[in-house]
Amino acid sequence: MTVCIDNAQHLLIIDSGAHCSIVARNYLENQLLPTKAKNFKSESGKMTSIGKIIKEIIIPHRKGNIRLNPEFVVLDDAHIQGLLLGTDYQRMYLIDIYNSTKSHITIGTKKKEIFT
């Protein structure tokens, strides 16, 4: 899905198999904060953290924009396009993914917003 960060559009991937939210080094690299964990495991092997970023993400929706403030671990050797929202913030923001007759995503408990 396309989201807004600092008035620019970015790709956000919601990954129910990722335990943390990540972004590749080339994304927002000049805004890094230090991180404690240095090594992470992925399906393709180990990856090295070089910091973290906390950014407000705006998810546009016809019923009103949704704002999230996740922390992303920045990985030196990640091969992803955009930002990957892991289960850490999916649980925090109550994000659910449904694949029935058509795929949709809900966020929050009150007036769940549906994205298709």
Q: Which residue has the higher pLDDT, 102 or 43?
A: 102
**Is residue 34's pLDDT more than 70?**
no
Summarize the confidence of residues 102-108 as an average pLDDT: 72
**Model confidence band, residue 8 (pLDDT cutoffs 50, 70, 90):** confident
Give the pLDDT score at 28.
60
Round to whole Å and give the CA distance between 113 and 107.
Answer: 6
Query: Is the pTM here over 0.75, yes or no?
Result: no
- Quick one: which of 66, 75, 103, 71 has its CA closest to 88? 71
Structural domains in the chain, CATH included, are 2-115 (2.40.70.10)
Element containing residue 23 per DSSP (H, E): strand 22-24
Within 8 A by CB and 6+ apart from 74, the residues are 22, 23, 24, 25, 27, 28, 29, 32, 35, 49, 50, 51, 52, 53
